[in-house]
Amino acid sequence: MGQGESHSEEIDLAQIQDLCLIFLKECPSGALHLHEFKKIFGVQSSSAEESLFLETIFRSFDTNQDKTLDFIEYVAALNLILRGSYEDRLKWSFKMYDKDGNGKLDRKEVKQIIRILYKIKLQRSDVEMRPSQICDRLFEVVDQNHDGQISLSEFMEGAQKDEWVMDLLKLDVNATGWVIQNCSKLP
């Protein structure tokens, strides 16, 4: 599992070009702000969980931390989400979860993202565990040295060898369908 896995939905060049045209239409200045990013992906302010999830995604792509995405950052983000390898998308997920940038995930960081994913997934499927139980199980499965932190290598190995962990990460690891679906809602 993992390395040979293909994208569930393939995106073609025309769709990427459409997404780039949306960027140019929404951001003639060449700088995409968070509120414009949310508009592009159809997230209304009433959806707190999706809004927070999109803010986390936005920050992960703002490589120069200027609170905007320029066209290069936007294209790099699309390329990673829509065409990136499984491993690259896992590394991106880890970076997105690692709020303090120390290269390790602690329980606070994991619980925060699980709460967001939990609320989003509740809208889409049956979730049998509470966020605290999910966090405990994730650490039990992935934290190999039991130091209370998850390193990038532990995260990568855990996601690739455990079906439950993979299923938990599906929402943000394979975002192709989500991006295509939300961008297709645009006028």
The tens-digit pLDDT sequence of the chain (187 residues) is 343 444 434 556 777 777 778 778 878 888 989 888 887 766 665 667 777 878 888 888 898 989 999 988 888 887 787 777 888 888 888 888 888 889 999 999 888 888 877 776 655 555 577 788 888 988 998 999 999 999 999 998 988 888 877 776 654 444 555 455 555 544 4
pTM over 0.85: no
Domain limits for position 144: 13-183
With H, G, I as helix, E, B as strand and everything else as coil, classify residue 64: coil
Count of the separate structural domains present in the chain? 1
- The answer to the question of residue 2 being in a domain is no
Phi and psi for 162 in degrees, rounded to 5?
-120, 120
**Cα gap 20→38, rounded to integer Å:** 15
Place of tokens 């990038």: 152
- The answer to the question of residue 171 being in a domain is yes
Specify the DSSP class assigned to residue 106: E
Q: Tell me, what amino acid is at 174? A: N
**Cα gap 142→105, rounded to integer Å:** 11
Sign of the dihedral through C-alpha 16, 56, 166, 128:
negative
**Cα gap 79→125, rounded to integer Å:** 28
- The answer to the question of residue 5 being in a domain is no
Q: What is the pLDDT of residues 90-112, one digit of tens each?
A: 888 888 888 888 999 999 988 88
